[in-house]
Amino acid sequence: MKDASPTAPQKIYLSDYQVPNYLIDEVHLTFQLAPEATRVRSRITFRPNPDATSADFFLYGEQLTLISAQIDGAPVTPTHVNGGLTCDVPSAPFVWEAEVEISPATNTALEGLYMSNGMYCTQCEAEGFRKITYYPDRPDVMAVFTVRIESDLPVLLSNGNPVTSGDGFAEWHDPWPKPAYLFALVGGDLIAHPDRFTTKSGKDVELNIYVRPGDEGKCAFGMEALKKSMTWDEEVYGREYDLDIFNIVAVDDFNMGAMENKGLNIFNSSCVLASPETSTDMNFERIEAIIAHEYFHNWTGNRITCRDWFQLCLKEGLTVYRDAQFTADMRSEPVKRIEDVIALRARQFREDNGPLAHPVRPDSFVEINNFYTATVYEKGAELIGMLKTLVGDADYYKALDLYFDRHDGDAATIEDWLQVFEDVTGRDLSQFKRWYEQAGTPRLSVDEAFADGTYTLTFSQSTPATPGQDHKDPRVIPIAVGLLGADGNEVVPTTVLEMTEATQSFAFDGLSAKPVPSILRGFSAPVILERDSDNAERAFLLAHDTDPFNKWEAGRALARAGLVEMVLNNAAPDGDYLDAVLQVLRNDDLDPAFRALTLALPSQDDLAQTLVDLGHTPDPTAIYQALETLKMAMATHMQDVLPRIYAQYQVNEAYQPDAEQSGARSLANAALALISRTDGGAAAQAQYDSADNMTQQLAALGCLIMAGKGDAATAEFYDQWKEDRLVIDKWFALQISHAAPERAAEVAADLTQHVDFTMKNPNRFRATLGALAMSPAGFHRADGAGYALLADWLIQLDPLNPQTTARMCSAFETWKRYDSDRQALIAAQLDRILATPDLSRDTTEMVSRIRAS
């Protein structure tokens, strides 16, 4: 029999946490794979938890057909309840055995065991294991797994080390106790890209990247990234790999980027497959970072896991922080920091400022899949960075050593995490903990005074109310400050001020004249700095600041100020900005990647939020027009220099996806984008025709579409790449993101009718509807066509794939920013989604939270 459908959405609270009633020592699973009738036999040794307050026995299970169940060899008839089953059990340790049937071929939610292009694979985080068998599917129940897979498929993989294999079967044993969310199984006709790694203690590890036949030429870069990650984690954190084998498998249909299952990482193929011809420099950088991220989870997530899903940031914040350190070490630290802050502001600040705001450690949820958010991940990582800044590097690594020593094998909490820092440093971190508990981005305002050689900075902090949290207490904010003299020389080097009060002053003595402050260097805290500054000072800092982040930030502030004037007052492009950015462009002493970032303008979404912060209602069309006008002004103002830059930064050596070459290409392509505004697309066409790598080809195609000359190249590109699904994803997304805003919804609608469009593949769905949602002027078209198109497709996708549907609903999270007409149009679409019969728990929660604001 099938269990009943889920009940009405129910909220789960952190404060209700109870230890598990039963613990598990060992799990034996046997899978007989068949597309629509896979049999899963489980044998689980349970024992009562001495710390439990109840003897109730409950196993989660969803979409399972129970064939039989036994306790200590005797058949039992469990009682099915919503979301699982209960049963009378002995008061002493006992063996539970069950056989269930599941249907991977019809599992379109891509959660549990499912099929993708004839291959079996799993995704169990957060609560997918309960779709495989009845189990106490919660992260604080950790067990040793032994898995037997029976199938005629040539490659059969699970976690841990291989035990034995033969005709039609394979057995795996994972000696490390793990929660069920780290379980993985793969069966398919796959090809391995093999390699080996020797750990620092001399242990030999077999490495494989498994892919579909035809993709074997796209594995070398991922393998190098894996080996670099393994070395880096040994050198920087002293963490060594702990199994005989490490496998990565590429899967086309995957909701997330990748998953850190113990010894068997499963990757969205877009996050591992790479070749110069088919991947851009950005793809390569992202792949390197994601491989590192999942590998680093082996210690921060797997060996030490989370007690419950409220603690998700314990593993994610720390691991994102570690992968950012890795990328900074492999590439450029300032460039990585700037890229991360752009992403943080675009995704996390936006979230923190809207109806979906929640603390880094949430205190309640309906569907945990909805909390794999920028707040948990990216703000979670910022918290680790602040902690490191506050305690210093030496104590940070001492605390981490203590964390690994003390909690290895544990399902831990944020309290455990902070305790190791308190024990190592003697600091009281109770105020710091507010960063985990309070949602919202703090606003930091600054007053300054200068008298008798003393310069005083007075900061005030406040955090706006967020859903469910009206009052916020002051937080600990590390503010990195440097002071510059009028000649541009630094008179006070970077100093970290530790702000703990609502309002607090810091004095600098012995100065001969009033300095220019460089505040929040390196973006030392995830706050919004509200400081009255003028363009002269911004231009001065852009020219002279020794802190690369604040140097870039000054240019960005200058651009933003000019754009706001253009939007609100129809001002002409700001000449100070054009001059300042021309100086940066010309300065060959500066890193080309840094210059490319400085040439890039704030996004439409960034400007919309800036206008809201200034008390205005943003007009998406006016913002788009201002950006277009400014880009044209830049193209004209710099037209003598741009061809020189474009020519100078062409890479003539063989393609390498390294920081140096990709920096040169990013600057040359930034120049090309401006040149294309005045040359009718001639330079872009030449680059398109001669490109031998995807970075150059795609950049040129984007410029041609923007210049209105892209039709032929768009058709050619499709013919060239129609067999490569990852390149065709780019082709879908680029046509929408580069379309004129008034046409973007039609372009997206037409592409949903294309023979290659399928909503069953999350990458393709995001490349189409996600690309529209991320093009503000097109998405927010005044007649609501963008809203209606997205809602139509979310309603269609929800019964197939609730996770991806729910995540994409965040396209509507900024709706309260806009005018009443647009708000009414969006409200109507949100209500239409909510009124859909049998809407998933995931989507119901997301749309309800957005609509309630």
The catalytic residue positions are 294
CA distance 186 to 72: 30
Angle of CA points 501, 505, 508, to nearest 5°: 140
Decide whether 436 or 549 has the Cβ nearer to Zn ion: 436
Amino acid at 440: G
At its nearest, how many Å lie between Zn ion and the CB of residue 239? 16
Give the DSSP letter string of 509-571.
---SSPPEEEESGGG-SS-EEE----HHHHHHHHHH-SSHHHHHHHHHHHHHHHHHHHHHH-P
Query: Contact, 367 vs 806, CB < 8 A?
Result: yes
At its nearest, how many Å lie between Zn ion and the CB of residue 299? 12
CA distance 332 to 703: 27
User: What mask, x for binding Zn ion by CB under 5 A, covers residues 299 to 338?
Assistant: -----------------x--x-------------------
Number of neighbouring beta carbons within 10 Å of residue 495: 13
At its nearest, how many Å lie between Zn ion and the CB of residue 297? 6
Cis-peptide, bond into residue 411, ω within 30° of zero: no
Structure tokens at 289: 């970072």
Decide whether 38 or 348 has the Cβ nearer to Zn ion: 348
Give every CB contact of residue 579 below 8 A, 6+ residues apart in sequence. Answer: 539
Decide whether 275 or 305 has the Cβ nearer to Zn ion: 305
Q: Where are the alpha helices (DSSP H) in 278-371?
A: 281-296, 312-330, 333-343, 350-352
Structure tokens at 151: 């199938």
406: exposed, middle or buried (Cβ count in 10 Å: 0-12, 13-18, 19+): middle
Helices 694-706 and 659-675 cross at an angle (nearest 10°) of 20
Q: Residues 811, 813, 819, 824: what is their CA dihedral angle, to the nearest 10 degrees?
A: 80
Query: Contact, 636 vs 678, CB < 8 A?
Result: yes
Q: What's the first-to-final CA gap in the chain, in angstroms? A: 41
At its nearest, how many Å lie between Zn ion and the CB of residue 385? 17
Decide whether 127 or 316 has the Cβ nearer to Zn ion: 316
User: What mask, x for binding Zn ion by CB under 5 A, covers residues 469 to 508?
Assistant: ----------------------------------------
Decide whether 376 or 424 has the Cβ nearer to Zn ion: 376
At its nearest, how many Å lie between Zn ion and the CB of residue 319? 5
Phi-psi region for residue 449, left (φ > 0), alpha (ψ -120 to 50) or beta?
beta
Decide whether 316 or 351 has the Cβ nearer to Zn ion: 316
Residue 155's closest CA among 29, 255, 248, 38? 248
In degrees and rounded to multiples of 5, residue 529 shows phi and psi of -85, 120
Decide whether 316 or 619 has the Cβ nearer to Zn ion: 316
CA distance 43 to 30: 9
Decide whether 316 or 352 has the Cβ nearer to Zn ion: 316
Residue 493's closest CA among 450, 547, 543? 547
Decide whether 179 or 515 has the Cβ nearer to Zn ion: 179
At its nearest, how many Å lie between Zn ion and the CB of residue 551? 31
Q: How many residues touch Zn ion (CB under 5 A)?
A: 2
Element (H, E) at 32: strand 22-32
Query: Contact, 255 vs 800, CB < 8 A?
Result: no
Decide whether 85 or 318 has the Cβ nearer to Zn ion: 318
CA distance 21 to 46: 10
Residues found near Zn ion in the complex (CB under 5 A): 316, 319
